[in-house]
Amino acid sequence: MGFTSSTFNLLEVSPLGFFIILTDLETRLRSFRQKMKDMNQWLRRVRNRVKLKDWWHVLAQKLVGHYQYYGLSGNFKGLQSYYTHTVRLAFKWINRRSQKRSYNWQQFNRFLSFNPLPKPKIYHLTYTLFNRRGCASEEPDEGKPQVRFCEGAHSYLGANTPIGGGL
């Protein structure tokens, strides 16, 4: 079929009984730690070199880029964790710009309400919970795990599947 062992890491079953293929793109612990280290280094370097209002927009773009790359179905928890850790790191490095503390948490939350960072969002649906037109389940019996093979332009797997859109 053209799938290698590096293409898929795990195969899980959803609460509704569908198979879920977890890919390499999902946030794994090692890559999450590295991303947090990279964000920490970037925030430390940029905190005094550029004004806050300028680098805050770049931080928002970095978050959106992370969400777009890692925003797969089933990875919302990883995206939420990345957002929370990034906000904490931003608070830490904003307060280390001088000897005087810039914000306490209450002031920082007020700053966030006026200058919000993008919230985590799923950008890539790797499986669907509803029966779509043109999708046929492999095992039509209720209660058994089902795999959906979708044909046509509405398929979320369209670009990564062989000619014809099916797996």
For every residue of 23-76, DSSP letters joined together read ETTS--HHHHHHHHHHHHHHHHHHTTTS-HHHHHHHHHHHHHHHHHHH-BTT-H
* Domain locations in the chain as residue ranges: 29-114
Contact partners, residue 128, CB within 8 Å, separation at least 6 = 135, 148, 156
CA distance 70 to 68: 6
pLDDT of amino acid 161: 46
Tell me the per-residue pLDDT of 58-98, one tens digit each, with 9 for 90 and over.
Answer: 999 999 999 998 888 888 888 999 999 999 999 999 999 88
Band (pLDDT 50/70/90 cuts) for residue 163 is low
Euclidean distance between the first and the last CA atom of the chain, given in angstroms as a whole number: 8
**Beta pairing partners, 18:** 146
pLDDT, position 89 = 96
Q: Is 133 strand, coil or helix?
A: coil
The mean per-residue pLDDT over the stretch 100-122 comes to 94
**Residue bearing the bigger pLDDT, 114 or 153:** 114
Q: How do residues 16-74 score in pLDDT, each as one tens digit?
A: 766 665 555 444 777 889 999 999 999 999 999 999 999 999 999 999 999 998 888 88
d(CA 134, CA 151): 6
Query: pLDDT at position 98, please?
Result: 87
Sorting pLDDT into bands at 50, 70 and 90, what band is 130?
Answer: very low
Higher pLDDT pick, 145 / 73: 73
Backbone angles phi, psi at 42, to 5 degrees: -65, -45
DSSP one-letter code for 8: E
